[in-house]
Amino acid sequence: MKRIIKFTAMLVLVILAANASAQSRMTEEQRAEAKAKFQELKQKLNLSEDQSKKVDAINTTWFEGIADLKKSTEPKMAKRNKLKSLNNTRNKQMKDVLTKEQFKIYKENQKEMKEEFKQRRANRE
């Protein structure tokens, strides 16, 4: 479960525009990195202003769900299932907001970040 939570936290840094309540749980460095990564992703996706606002809302809701999962005392499998549900919901919402090409780039970015995370994890062990 720790791997899932760590992976999710990394995705948050990549995808999320940190909101005020979420930022209080993050260090200044993490906030700056999250903003930089989100700006980079916005440029890759070439989001319109409307899309940007919708993506911010989707990611904020997703991050709040992740924060609730971290606090939860539920069994690992229940947390895992909720995480999958959160991710599926976010991906469906993103698919509705983004064009087909933007969504393809979004999914490729997720794969890249997953690989980067695996490499960092392998280097730590």
Per-position pLDDT tens, the chain of length 125: 555 555 555 565 556 444 444 444 556 776 677 677 777 887 888 889 899 899 888 888 887 888 888 888 999 999 999 999 999 999 999 999 999 999 999 999 888 888 887 887 788 76
User: Would you say the C-alpha torsion 116, 55, 5, 10 has a positive or negative sign?
Assistant: positive
Nearest partner of 14 among 125, 83, 107, 99, judged by Cα: 107
Half-sphere exposure of 60 (CA within 13 A, CB side): 12
d(CA 1, CA 72): 12
pTM metric for this prediction: 0.66
The residue ranges of every structural domain in the chain are: 2-124
Inter-residue contact 69 to 83 (CB < 8 Å): yes
